[in-house]
Amino acid sequence: MASASALSAHAPARSFRLARPALVVGIGILIFWVVVALTVEFWAPYEPLKIVSRKLQPPSFSHWLGTDALGRDVLIRTFYGAQYSLTIAVIVVAASVTIGSVVGALSGFFGGWPDSILMRLVDITLSFPPVLLAMSIAASLGPGVQNTAIAIVVVWWPVYARLMRGQVLDVLSRDHIEAAVAGGASRTRLLLKHILPLSWTPTIISATMDFGQVVLLAASLSFIGLGAKPPTPEWGSMISEGAAHFYSWWIAFGPGLAILSIGLGCNFIGDTLRDMLDPKDE
Amino acid sequence: MTSDKPLLEVVDLRVSLNRGVDVVRGVSFNVHAKKVVSIVGESGSGKSMTVRAVMGLPPPLASLSGSIKLNGEELVGASERRLRRLRGSKIGMIFQDPMTALNPVIRVGDLIAEAVRLHNPRMSAKQAMQRAIELLETVAVPQPDVRVRQYSHEFSGGMRQRVMIAMAIANNPDVLIADEPTTALDVTVQAQIIEVLSNLRQMFPVGLVLITHDLGIVAGVADTVVVMYAGKVVETGPVRAIFRGSRHPYTRGLLSCLPSIEQKAGKLVPIPGNPPSLSARPSGCPFRPRCPMARDICSTEEPELRTVDDIETACHFAEELRTFDTSAFQTTAGSA
């Protein structure tokens, strides 16, 4: 155990060379969507809001995923939706990780009554079903991209706070931390140089996996009308429109497949990272 | 610095945990420059707690009393800020398990250079790294200029312990505390580490506090022995006097646990029973329940340290012990 944890910092370098099909597929999917989101404006034949054909046309060679209730191209709208979904996911995950890690690390490191208060706050937040809590926050803030992001961050940061706190407490109890104290290291130095560099792994894995979850949650909020406003090509609201025209299956198919692929890709990456970074599995 | 003035003076040190459990009950000892003081005793006797108090690192909520003087400066009640200055510069500490006591994600050279720069903030990174290489050379790590760029997992156990020593002596401390520095190592490596520690005294006037279970090491390098039992010093004196003529049945018992070349066929004699628990200490002498020569007075009066010949001992019957036979333990063990 002891020697295994000492090796953990170097395990990835060795394991990256091994072929890991799930990782390759996962990264491939994410790269595809990132490239689409960044470049779609330059090569897409239509604007996402442009009515290009008659309404509710099934898939054909000119419109691969058919057209929606207003006659807009579903595939093009799905591609444009990536901009919206990826941006919100990146912002939400980054903000949650930052807030959660800072709170969790300070809470675990300093302990005492601030730790108790912060962790009870985390407990309270986590005791609500996440979708329900995000829904009520989004509803009270009103629809819009920014409000969706805020709602999801409020629901999500406690996960990282708890994760980081546990990890900091674990590292804090290791011998080399005591050795650093015996060498005269100050508390700030201890936290920044000796504890945090060893505490990131679970957060990185969790953030990767959560990326897909956030895409899904953002789409869910839009689906029930709490996210993006209707003309915006957002996956959740597109599926919502598709649900209204249930027998035109293609309307929901494009954005549904997009969400599925991103969720799957993130899980592939997260699982592989966990196997690679966790010394206990070796 | 005159050698008769101790570098470290511990007087009547007491450590109580927050639940009112006394783990160290009035321990006194002195450490002189270039001398080795060895603290021996079973697990739970308070040795580690004693040195932790000296380092200013007692467990949370523990209360200290008594006096710890480093170069005449009182450490009990000193500010955390002051203690932090002293740790790593005036007092160094070496830990038991070099496998876990080195940070796995920092290069060994950076670890040592950090130890140097923490107390010499104006030194450049380059100078500190140069000093790290010198220090590794001091503790006999081959190819120090290559080794500083490696991580601790690239080192063997003995080499890691040398790195620990290099970190601890980075600022030429007055007192170096080694908490069972060889327990986790192979026997052949143990001897090398003890030699490295012992040689440090020729380089600068450091006083060593060596905590160990290994009486062979004590006999080899210690100048003074402090035997602890149940949070108290039960016997202390020059190493020769203790090994030749201990006046305490506990020390005698420890010594008879050692194999010896002279008595090849002789059986090793264990001390029966276990050390008393901290919360339920027996009345009178804490060693009484395990002592083969315990009498009535032992259960009512706790013996204090007193001088008998050239050692200090805490036994009511120290005078009788001149003729004490350790095989007495065997009969007790048999009847128990």
B87 contacts A182? CB cut-off 8 A = yes
Q: Is A174 on the interface with B (CB under 8 A)?
A: yes
Cα dihedral B101/B107/B112/B113 (nearest 10): -150
In a domain, A217, yes or no: yes
Polymer length of chain A:
282
B20 pLDDT higher than 60: yes
Q: What does the mean pLDDT of chain B come to?
A: 87
Band of residue A25 on the pLDDT scale cut at 50, 70, 90: very high
B224-229/B36-40 β-pairing? parallel
Q: Domain residues of chain B, as ranges?
A: 8-226, 230-335
**Binding-face residues of A in 214-233 toward B, CB within 8 A:** none
- Interatomic CA distance for residues A265 and A271, integer angstroms: 10
Domain assignment of residue A22, yes or no: no
Cβ–Cβ of B57/A178 closer than 8 Å? yes
pLDDT score at B135: 94
Q: How confident is the model at residue B329 (pLDDT cuts 50, 70, 90)?
A: low
Tens digits of residue pLDDT in B43-93: 888 898 999 999 988 888 888 999 999 999 999 988 989 999 999 999 999
CATH code of the region B8-226:
3.40.50.300
Q: In this complex, is the C-beta atom of B58 within 8 Å of any C-beta atom belonging to chain A?
A: no
On whether residue A71 sits in a domain, the answer given is yes
Q: Is residue A21 part of a domain?
A: no
Q: Which amino acid is at A161?
A: A
pLDDT of residue B29: 94
Name the residue in chain A with its Cα closest to that of B113. A183
- Using an 8 Å CB-CB cutoff, list chain B residues near A3: 99, 153
Chain A residues with beta carbon closer than 8 angstroms to that of B115: 183-184
Is it the case that residue A11 has pLDDT exceeding 80? Answer: no
Residues 6+ apart with CB under 8 A from B188: none
pLDDT at residue B271 is higher than 90: no
pLDDT of residue B133: 95
Contact between B22 and B16 under an 8 Å Cβ cutoff? The reply is yes
Angle at B245 between CA B239 and CA B250, to 5 degrees: 85
Please tell me if residue B95 touches chain A, with a CB cutoff of 8 Å.
Answer: yes
- CATH code of the domain in which A217 resides: 1.10.3720.10
pLDDT at position B193 is 92
What is the DSSP code (8-state) at residue B87?
Answer: B
Sign of the four-CA dihedral A3, B153, A20, A254: positive
Is the pLDDT assigned to residue B98 strictly greater than 70?
yes
Q: Is A171 on the interface with B (CB under 8 A)?
A: no
Q: Does A184 touch chain B (CB under 8 A)?
A: yes
Structure token pair of residue A198? 């060893």
- All residues of chain A having their beta carbon less than 8 Å from the beta carbon of residue B151 are 9-10
Over range A43-57, report the average pLDDT: 85
Distance CA(A153)–CA(B267), nearest Å, equals 70
Residue with tokens 């799905």: A78
Kindly provide the ipTM of the predicted complex, given to two decimals.
0.82
Q: In this structure, what are the phi and psi dihedrals at residue A237, rounded to the nearest 5 degrees?
A: -75, -30
The CA-based angle B223-B227-B231, given to 5 degrees, is 140
Interface test with B, best of A175, A190, A200 (most B CBs within 10 A): A175
Phi, psi of B141 (to 5 degrees): -95, 120
Alpha carbons within 13 angstroms on the beta-carbon side of residue A267 total 9
Distance of residue A2 Cα from the nearest chain B Cα, in angstroms: 6
Chain B, 163-192: which have a CB under 8 Å from a chain A CB? 164, 167-168, 170
pLDDT above 60 (res B121): yes
B101 at A interface, C-beta within 8 A? yes
pLDDT tens-digit series, residues A152-188: 999 999 999 999 999 999 999 998 998 999 988 988 9
Average of per-residue pLDDT across B151-157: 92
Q: Do B92 and A182 touch (CB under 8 A)?
A: yes
8 Å CB contact of A9 and B104? yes
Q: A175 at the B interface (CB within 8 A)?
A: yes
Q: How confident is the model at residue A58 (pLDDT cuts 50, 70, 90)?
A: confident
Q: What's the burial of A264, exposed, middle or buried (CB within 10 Å: 0-12/13-18/19+)?
A: middle
pLDDT tens per residue, range A88-142: 999 999 999 999 999 999 999 999 999 999 999 999 999 999 889 999 999 999 8
> Is residue A15, in this structure, part of any structural domain at all?
no
By CA distance, what is B93's nearest residue in A?
A: A182
Show Cβ contacts of residue A114 under 8 Å, excluding neighbours closer than 6 positions.
A106, A107
- pLDDT range class, residue A64, cuts 50, 70, 90: confident
3-state secondary structure chain A: CHHHHHHHHHHHHHHCCCCCHHHHHHHHHHHHHHHHHHHHHHHCCCCCCCECCCCCCCCCCCCCCCECCCCEEHHHHHHHHHHHHHHHHHHHHHHHHHHHHHHHHHHHHHCHHHHHHHHHHHHHHHHCCHHHHHHHHHHHHCCCHHHHHHHHHHHHHHHHHHHHHHHHHHHHCCHHHHHHHHCCCCHHHHHHHHHHHHCCHHHHHHHHHHHHHHHHHHHHHHHCCCCCCCCCCCHHHHHHHHHHCCCCCHHHHHHHHHHHHHHHHHHHHHHHHHHHHCHHHC
What domain range is A97 assigned to? 39-50+61-281
- Residue A14 in contact with partner chain B when CB distance is under 8 A: no
pLDDT at site B324: 57
Judging by beta carbons within 10 Å of its beta carbon (0-12, 13-18, 19+), is residue B290 exposed, middle or buried?
Answer: buried
CB contact under 8 A, A183 and B118: yes
CB contact under 8 A, B100 and A174: yes
Give the pLDDT score at B62. Answer: 87
| Alpha-carbon span B213 to B216, nearest angstrom | 9
In a domain, A105, yes or no: yes
Contact (CB<8Å) A184/B57: no
Task: Share the mean pLDDT of chain A.
Answer: 87
pLDDT on residue B183 = 86
Alpha-carbon distance values, B324 to A233, B234, B313 (Å): 95, 17, 15
A182 vs B88, B99, B104: nearest CB: B88
Q: Which of B253, B278, B257, B275 is nearest to B266 (CA)?
A: B257
Nearest to B119 among A6, A9, A184 (CB): A184
A1 in contact with chain B, both atoms CB, cutoff 8 A: no
How far is residue A238's CA from residue A251's CA, in Å, rounded to a whole number?
Answer: 7
The C-alpha atoms of residue B249 and residue B323 are separated, in whole angstroms, by: 11
pLDDT at B75: 92
Helix axes B157-168, B108-119, angle to 10 degrees: 10
The verdict on a CB contact (< 8 Å) between A6 and B84 is: no
In chain A, which residues have their Cβ closer than 8 Å to the Cβ of B84? Answer: 184-186
Work out the angle at residue B47's Cα, subtended by the Cα atoms of residues B42 and B50, and round it to the nearest 5 degrees: 160
Residues B235-273: b if buried by 16+ CB within 10 A, e if exposed: bbbebebbbeebbbbbbbbbbbeeeeeeeeeeeebebbe
Q: Which residues have CB under 8 Å from A124's CB, separation 6+?
A: none
Beta carbons of B99 and A198 less than 8 Å apart:
no
Best residue in B105, B152, B154 for a mutation probing chain A (most A CBs within 10 Å): B105
First to last CA, chain A: 11
Packing angle of the helix pair B157-168, B125-138 (nearest 10 deg)? 120
Give the number of A-B residue pairs with CB atoms closer than 8 Å: 84
Q: Kindly list the distances between the CA atom of residue B260 and the CA atoms of B185, B217, B246, in Å, as whole numbers in the listed order.
A: 22, 14, 17
Q: Do A185 and B118 touch (CB under 8 A)?
A: yes
The partner residues of B68 in beta bridges, in order of sequence, read B10
Question: What percent of chain B has a predicted confidence (pLDDT) above 70?
Answer: 92
Instruction: Render pLDDT for B169-183 as a digit per residue (tens, 0 to 9).
Output: 999 999 999 999 988
User: Degrees (nearest 5) of the Cα angle A164, A166, A171?
Assistant: 90
- The verdict on a CB contact (< 8 Å) between B93 and A7 is no
H or E stretch at B309 = none
Structural domain includes residue A11: no
- Tally the domains of chain A: 1
User: Which residues in A lie closer than 8 A to residue B100 (C-beta atoms)?
Assistant: 2, 6, 174-176
Q: Which chain A residues touch B181 with a CB distance below 8 Å?
A: none
- Using DSSP's 3-state secondary structure scheme, residue B62 falls into coil
- The pLDDT-based confidence of A44 (bands split at 50, 70, 90) is confident
Whose CA is closest to B139, among B114, B105, B176, B170?
B170
**Within 10 A of B115 (CB to CB), how many other CB atoms are there?**
29
A6, A189, A198: residue with CB nearest B99: A6
Buried/exposed B190-204: b ≥16 CB within 10 Å, e otherwise: bbbbbebbbebbeee
Q: Do B97 and A2 touch (CB under 8 A)?
A: yes
Tell me which DSSP letter residue B105 carries.
T
Over range A256-274, report the average pLDDT.
93
Q: Is the pLDDT of residue A242 over 50?
A: yes
